[in-house]
Amino acid sequence: MTAHLTITAAGPAMSVQDLGRTGYRAVGLTVGGAADRRALYEGAALLGQSADSAAIEMAGSGGSFVSDADVRFALTGASMAAKLDGEPLVWNASHLLPKGSTLTVGGAQAGTYGYLHIGGGIATPVVMGARSSHLAGGIGKLLATGDVLPIGKDTRKDVSNTLPADPRFSGGVVRMVASAQTADFASETVSRFTSTAFQRDPRGNRMGVRMAMDGDGFAMESGLSIVSEVVVPGDIQIAGDGSPYVLMYECQTTGGYPRIGTVLPCDMPRVAQAQAGAELRFEMLDLQDAIGVQARALNELKALRAAVTPLVRDPAEIRDLLSYQLIGGAVSAQANPFD
Partner 1 sequence: MLVTFADKMNEPANRAALAFRAAVDQQEWPDVIETSTSLVSTYLEVNLALTPLQGIVEQLQDLLKSRDWYQAALPNGRSLWHVPTVYGTDLAPQLEEAAALADVDPDTAIRQISSSRVRVLTIGFAPGQPYMGELSETWNIPRQKGLTKAVPPGALVIAIRQIIVFTNAAPTGWRHIGQTAFGTFLPQTPRPFTLAPGDELIFPSVDRASFDQINDSSGLGGADRETIA
Of the residues 3, 16, 19, 29, which one makes contact with partner 1 according to CB under 8 A: 29
Q: Which stretch binds partner 1 (CB under 8 A): 51-59, 146-154, 225-233, 331-339?
A: 225-233
Q: Pick the closer one to partner 1 by CB: 128 or 144.
A: 128
Rounded to the nearest whole angstrom, what is the least distance from the CB of residue 117 to partner 1 in the complex? 25
By CB under 8 A, tell whether 239 contacts partner 1.
yes
Identified binder of partner 1 from the candidate list 240, 279, 310, 317, rule CB under 8 A? 240
**250-to-206, 208, 260 alpha-carbon distances in Å:** 6, 8, 19
Q: Which of 20, 119, 120, 137 binds partner 1 (CB under 8 A)?
A: 137
Indicate the residue among 25 and 281 with the shorter CB distance to partner 1.
Answer: 25
Task: Report long-range pairs for 146-149 (Cβ below 8 Å, ≥24 apart).
Answer: 146/6, 146/7, 146/8, 147/6, 147/7, 147/10, 148/4, 148/5, 148/6, 148/7, 149/4, 149/5, 149/6, 149/7, 149/16, 149/56, 149/122, 149/123, 149/124
Which one of 9, 12, 22, 279 is in contact with partner 1 (CB under 8 A)?
22
* Residue 27: CB minimum distance to partner 1, A: 5
Q: How far apart are CA 253 and CA 148, in angstroms?
A: 32
β-strand partners of 211: 200
Query: What's the CA gap between 167 and 123, in Å, rounded?
Result: 30
Per CB under 8 A, the list member of 9, 186, 197, 224 interacting with partner 1 is 224
Stretch that binds partner 1, among 34-42, 116-124, 228-236, 316-324 (CB under 8 A): 228-236
By rule CB under 8 A, what string of x and - marks binding of each residue 277-316 to partner 1?
Answer: ----------x---x--xx-xx------------------
> In this chain, which stretch among 5-13, 19-27, 78-86, 159-167 interacts with partner 1, using CB under 8 A?
19-27
CB 22 within 8 A of CB 33: no
Q: For the segment 245-264, give every residue that binds partner 1 (CB under 8 A).
A: 252-257
Burial 41-78 (b: 16+ CB within 10 A, else e): bbbbbbbbbebebbbbbbbbbbbbbbbeeebbbbbbbb
Q: What single DSSP character describes residue 123?
A: -
Q: Is 305 exposed, middle or buried (0-12, 13-18, 19+ CB in 10 A)?
A: middle
124 is a contact residue toward partner 1 (CB under 8 A): no
Least Å from the CB of residue 172 to partner 1: 21
Q: What is the DSSP string of 258-315?
A: -EEEEE-GGGHHHHHHPPTT-EEEEEE--HHHHHHHHHHHHHHHHGGGGG-EEPPPPG
Which CB, 17 or 162, lies closer to partner 1? 17
Question: Contact between 227 and partner 1 (CB under 8 A)?
Answer: yes
Give me the 163-202 binding string for partner 1, x by CB under 8 A, dash otherwise.
-----------------x----------------------
Taking the complex as a whole, the smallest distance from the CB of residue 178 to partner 1 amounts, in Å, to 12
